[in-house]
């Protein structure tokens, strides 16, 4: 979590390294941090990720959830989270950091692209009269790269 004064939560990051992800632990965390409605939304997103998300390699750091409080957006919180993610990936000896972004979330997609993430896979399905899809994006780490 990224917190400010008064312990206000500005943003949250949930990561997995390799296949160690525990959905049950993620769910507990969501209900501890968010109100019931937002926690339920996060749970649904995780379930969708299980179906559409790319498979983890042993040396991958997966950004399972990246969220910033609405009123804190545009203030550098996401860049701080991404930078800390890269530092963690280096510390753990990971070779890449990856995430899934909804194809309709253009602001997030553009931000990840600007940070250096690249699309390596796309998943599109028919969805209630339209289409739904995600982009799997990766950031390959180099030895001297700190994010």
CA distance 11 to 105: 17
Q: What is the DSSP letter of 95?
A: S
Name the one residue in this structure whose structure tokens are 């994006």: 137
Domains and CATH numbers, the chain: 2-140 (3.40.630.30)
Q: Which two tokens stand for residue 6?
A: 């008064």
Per residue in 115-130, pLDDT tens? 999 999 888 877 777 8
Per residue in 38-95, pLDDT tens? 888 878 777 766 666 667 788 899 888 888 888 878 888 888 889 999 999 999 999 9
Task: Quote the pLDDT of residue 131.
Answer: 81
Kindly list the strands in the beta sheet with 60-68, ordered across the sheet, starting from the edge strand earlier in the chain: 2-3, 9-17, 60-68, 96-102, 130-140, 118-127
Q: What is the pTM of this model?
A: 0.70
């Amino acid at each position: 979590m990224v917190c400010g004064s008064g312990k206000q939560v500005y943003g949250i990051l949930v990561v997995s390294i390799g296949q160690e992800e525990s959905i049950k632990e993620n769910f507990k965390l969501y209900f501890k941090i968010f109100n019931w409605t937002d926690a339920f939304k996060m749970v649904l997103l995780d379930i969708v990720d299980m179906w559409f998300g790319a498979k983890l390699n042993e040396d991958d750091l997966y950004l399972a959830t990246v969220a910033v409080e609405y009123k804190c957006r545009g203030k550098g919180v996401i860049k701080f989270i991404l930078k800390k993610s890269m530092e963690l990936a280096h510390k753990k000896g990971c070779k890449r950091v990856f995430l899934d972004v909804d194809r309709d979330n253009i602001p997030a997609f553009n931000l990840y692209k600007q940070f250096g993430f690249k699309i390596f896979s796309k998943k599109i399905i028919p969805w209630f009269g339209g289409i739904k899809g995600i982009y799997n994006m990766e950031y390959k780490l180099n030895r001297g790269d700190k994010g």
